C-alpha cells in the first residue's frame, strides 16, 4: 500500500507551523499507524530529506494514552474504541491521502510537530484526584461492602487513560469527560466519599484555571474516547458540583 501523508510540522511552541507532504510506499495492511510513521522517519533520516517527525508513543498497546494524533479529522483516526497505536493501515485504502495533526487545545500547547504538552491533566489530578484520608492498615478485600453496580461503574471510569481525545474532539476543548471519569472512579467507592465534594470543587476549578472550555453537550467526547468512557460520568460530576455549591452556601449561612 502507498499513501500521501500531510503532516503538521512545527519546530517549537513559538514557531509557525505548516503542513508538509510525504509519500510512503510498500506499507503492509497489517502495519500499525505508528509503525507506518516509523517507516517514514527511517526514510527521512536515511535519505536526509528532513528531521524525523516527532510524535508521542510508549507502550503501543492502548494503555499509556500517549499516542494521541488527529487523523483525517478524528482523534485516533477512523476506527472506534482504539488508540492511534491500535489503528492499522487496513482501515485505509491504497493511495489514500492522510492528514495528521496534533491535538488542538489551548491547554495542550504544541511542543514540536505532533507532540503536545498534556501536563495540564497531571495538574488536575494533583488538585484532587487522590485519597488522602487516613485509612489505617489494608483491610481484607471483602470487608468493605460495595454494591456491584457501583464497583462496576468505578472500574469503567478508571479505564480512562488520559489520552486527551475527549479534549481534541470537543469544539470547546472541554476536559469534562476526563475530569468526570477521574472524579467518578474515586467518589463511587467508600474510600473516596469522605473527600468527594471537596475533590470535585478542586478538580473543576483547576480545569477552568488551565483554560479548558465548557461542556458542549454534543457527546463528541464519548464518541471518540478510545476506552468508551460514558458521558454519565459528566452528569455525576455536575450533580456533585451542585451539591458542593449548596454545601458552601449552607456553611456561610
pLDDT per residue as tens digits for the range 3-61 = 999 999 999 999 999 999 999 999 999 999 999 999 999 999 998 889 999 999 999 99
Same domain, yes or no: 67 and 186 = no
Same domain, yes or no: 128 and 185 = yes
Provide the grid cell at 176: 469534562
Same domain, yes or no: 83 and 159 = no
Tell me the per-residue pLDDT of 45-54, one tens digit each, with 9 for 90 and over. Answer: 998 889 999 9
Surface-to-core class of residue 9, CB atoms within 10 Å of its CB (0-12 exposed, 13-18 middle, 19+ buried): middle
What CATH number should be reported for the domain holding residue 165? 1.10.1060.10
Cell 471519569 belongs to 181
Distance CA 70, CA 73 (A): 6
Query: What pLDDT, on the 0 to 100 scale, is given for residue 137?
Result: 67
Same domain, yes or no: 56 and 168 = no
Same domain, yes or no: 52 and 90 = yes
**CA atoms within 13 Å, Cβ hemisphere of 144:** 12
The answer to whether residue 103 sits within a structural domain is yes
Cα torsion angle, 35, 40, 42, 45, sign: negative
Cell 510524535 belongs to 55
Same domain, yes or no: 125 and 217 = yes
Distance CA 53, CA 140 (A): 50
Same domain, yes or no: 154 and 97 = no
The answer to whether residue 16 sits within a structural domain is yes
**pTM across the whole model:** 0.91
The answer to whether residue 234 sits within a structural domain is yes
Residue ranges in the chain whose pLDDT is less than 70: 133-139, 141, 248-253
The answer to whether residue 177 sits within a structural domain is yes
Query: What pLDDT, on the 0 to 100 scale, is given for residue 120?
Result: 98
The answer to whether residue 163 sits within a structural domain is yes
H helix or E strand, kind and range, residue 99: strand 97-101
Query: What pLDDT, on the 0 to 100 scale, is given for residue 16?
Result: 95
Same domain, yes or no: 123 and 240 = yes
Distance CA 196, CA 175 (A): 19
The answer to whether residue 138 sits within a structural domain is no
What is the edge-to-edge ordering of all strands in the sheet holding 3-9? 18-24, 3-9, 97-101, 70-71, 74-75
Q: How far apart are the first and last CA of the chain?
A: 69
For strand 74-75 and strand 97-101, is the pairing parallel, antiparallel, or unpaired?
Answer: unpaired
Same domain, yes or no: 92 and 171 = no
Same domain, yes or no: 34 and 158 = no
Distance CA 6, CA 19 (A): 6
Distance CA 136, CA 148 (A): 24
Provide the grid cell at 140: 481484607
Query: What total of structural domains would you count in the chain?
Result: 2
Distance CA 88, CA 85 (A): 8
Query: What pLDDT, on the 0 to 100 scale, is given for residue 57?
Result: 95
The answer to whether residue 64 sits within a structural domain is yes
Distance CA 120, CA 37 (A): 27
For residue 207, give the nearest of 184, 175, 173 by alpha carbon.
Answer: 175
Provide the grid cell at 150: 457501583
The answer to whether residue 139 sits within a structural domain is no
Same domain, yes or no: 162 and 207 = yes
CA 67 to chain centre: 9
Write out the residue range of the structural domain in which residue 149 sits: 118-132+144-252
What CATH number should be reported for the domain holding residue 97? 3.10.20.30
Same domain, yes or no: 11 and 41 = yes
Distance CA 27, CA 9 (A): 22
Amino acid at each position: 500500500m502507498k499513501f500521501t501523508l500531510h503532516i503538521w510540522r512545527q519546530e517549537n511552541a513559538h514557531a509557525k507551523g505548516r503542513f508538509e507532504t510525504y509519500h510512503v510506499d510498500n506499507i503492509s495492511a497489517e502495519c500499525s499507524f505508528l509503525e507506518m510513521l516509523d517507516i517514514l522517519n527511517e526514510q527521512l533520516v536515511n535519505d536526509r530529506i528532513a528531521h524525523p517527525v516527532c510524535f508521542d508513543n510508549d507502550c503501543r498497546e492502548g494503555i499509556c494514552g500517549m499516542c494521541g494524533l488527529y487523523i483525517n479529522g478524528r482523534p485516533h483516526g477512523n476506527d472506534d474504541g482504539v488508540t492511534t497505536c491500535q489503528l492499522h493501515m487496513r482501515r485505509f485504502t491504497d493511495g489514500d491521502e492522510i492528514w495528521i495533526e496534533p491535538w488542538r487545545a489551548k491547554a495542550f500547547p504544541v511542543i514540536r510537530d505532533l507532540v503536545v504538552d498534556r501536563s495540564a491533566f497531571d495538574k488536575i489530578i494533583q488538585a484532587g484526584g487522590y485519597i488522602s484520608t487516613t485509612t489505617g492498615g489494608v483491610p481484607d478485600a471483602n470487608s468493605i461492602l460495595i454494591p456491584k453496580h457501583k464497583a462496576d461503574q468505578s472500574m469503567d471510569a478508571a479505564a480512562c487513560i488520559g489520552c486527551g481525545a475527549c479534549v481534541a474532539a470537543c469544539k470547546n476543548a472541554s476536559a469534562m469527560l476526563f475530569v468526570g471519569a477521574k472524579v467518578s472512579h474515586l467518589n463511587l467507592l467508600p474510600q473516596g466519599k469522605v473527600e468527594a465534594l471537596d475533590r470535585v470543587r478542586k478538580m473543576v476549578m483547576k480545569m477552568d484555571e488551565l483554560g479548558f472550555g465548557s461542556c458542549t453537550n454534543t457527546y463528541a467526547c464519548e464518541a471518540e474516547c478510545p476506552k468508551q468512557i460514558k458521558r454519565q460520568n459528566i452528569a455525576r460530576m455536575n450533580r456533585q458540583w451542585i451539591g458542593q455549591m449548596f454545601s458552601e452556601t449552607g456553611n456561610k449561612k
